[in-house]
């Protein structure tokens, strides 16, 4: 009976506890916001931004390799 209890602890509970603690240790570092990223509120502020966005869309449509047109 003692051997079975040691076997359960060694093969079942201890690895499970280690995995739970390892997965919970990095959550704060992964949830950070990139301060250099552009958001919709900070980029689309005037008509110049609209023109640059439209130019980027039209430039990608002119590239034949993107659409796969021969």
CA 23 – CA 15 distance, rounded (Å): 12
pLDDT at 48: 92
DSSP state of 1: -
Query: What is the band of 1 on the pLDDT scale with cuts at 50, 70, 90?
Result: low
CA 68 – CA 27 distance, rounded (Å): 41
pLDDT at 32: 78
Read off the pTM: 0.40
pLDDT at 28: 66
Q: Are 67 and 61 in contact (CB under 8 A)?
A: yes
Q: Are 50 and 44 in contact (CB under 8 A)?
A: yes
């Amino acid at each position: 009976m003692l051997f079975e209890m040691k076997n359960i602890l060694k093969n079942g509970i201890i690895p499970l506890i280690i995995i739970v603690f390892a997965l919970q240790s990095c959550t704060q570092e992964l949830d950070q916001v990139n301060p250099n990223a552009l958001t919709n509120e900070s980029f689309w502020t005037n008509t110049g931004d609209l023109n640059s966005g439209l130019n980027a869309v039209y430039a990608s449509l002119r590239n034949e390799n993107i659409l796969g047109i021969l």
